[in-house]
A and B are shown apart, each in its own frame.
Chain A
Amino acid sequence: DQQVKQNSPSLSVQEGRISILNCDYTNSMFDYFLWYKKYPAEGPTFLISISSIKDKNEDGRFTVFLNKSAKHLSLHIVPSQPGDSAVYFCAASDGSGTYKYIFGTGTRLKVLA
């Protein structure tokens, strides 16, 4: 049962343009969402998070948007840089007493110089 889905396995973007990575979820109990960036053979690095009480959170070049009614979130990177090339995972947790983060399958972003 894939509760967190990233339907685009890969994305290529020109340097300086916007990268938009999408994530859908099925569990309406999820109330906290995170984006992680991962390089090969390294651990996931936390990027940005959003609580379900918000619909937008911004941190520098990274903005996460949450649409609860559509059970959809997206990560915008503006402007994209070659160093942003990595695999991006969205993850979700719920506040109903579970103690885990559910990860999506990841989207490989390639920023072209």
Chain B
Amino acid sequence: EPEVTQTPSHQVTQMGQEVILRCVPISNHLYFYWYRQILGQKVEFLVSFYNNEISEKSEIFDDQFSVERPDGSNFTLKIRSTKLEDSAMYFCASSLLPTGSEAFFGQGTRLTVV
């Protein structure tokens, strides 16, 4: 069964460093998302991406964040200068349609900023 894969599963980084989280969405999906979940809190929307551009972003997704689809398969989230409060589980998701269809999630990357 097709699945969304994310690497790495766990990333530890020093405050102020740049990190890149990687995702391979389901191959025939057209819409891609990043969400995050701070420990014990709800799953929060960060950004959606379609046709090589951002479709929508939340207020969390400030200038420190960027997304890219560098080739036909990968979808990346970059945090330019990490802060302690960026520590969270980051989930990539993809869907065939923007609404009215299921989004499938990867297993997540646990980002720990120290």
The residues of A with any CB-CB pair to B shorter than 8 Å are 31-32, 34, 36, 41-46, 49, 51, 89, 91, 93-95, 98-106
Query: Given A99-B55, A101-B45, does the pair A31, B105 have CB atoms closer than 8 Å?
Result: no
Task: Determine chain B's interface SS by DSSP, over half rule.
Answer: strand
Query: Shortest distance in angstroms between B61's beta carbon and chain A's nearest beta carbon?
Result: 11
The residues of B with any CB-CB pair to A shorter than 8 Å are 4, 6, 31, 33, 35, 41-45, 48, 50, 55-56, 58, 89, 91, 93, 98-108, 110
Partner of A44, one of B43, B44, B110: B43
Query: Given A45-B105, A95-B99, does the pair A103, B110 have CB atoms closer than 8 Å?
Result: no
Once the chains are docked, how many angstroms separate the CA of A49 from the CA of B105? 15
A93 touches B99 (CB 8 A): yes
Once the chains are docked, how many angstroms separate the CA of A106 from the CA of B38? 13
Query: Shortest distance in angstroms between B68's beta carbon and chain A's nearest beta carbon?
Result: 17
Partner of A51, one of B6, B45, B48, B100: B100
Which residues of B have CB within 8 Å of A49? Answer: 102
Which residues of B have CB within 8 Å of A105? Answer: 41-42
Once the chains are docked, how many angstroms separate the CA of A40 from the CA of B113? 20
Query: Shortest distance in angstroms between A91's beta carbon and chain B's nearest beta carbon?
Result: 8
Which residues of A have CB within 8 Å of B6? Answer: 43
Which residues of B have CB within 8 Å of A101? Answer: 33, 45, 93, 103
Closest residue of chain B to A93 (Cβ to Cβ) is B99
Once the chains are docked, how many angstroms separate the CA of A36 from the CA of B110? 19
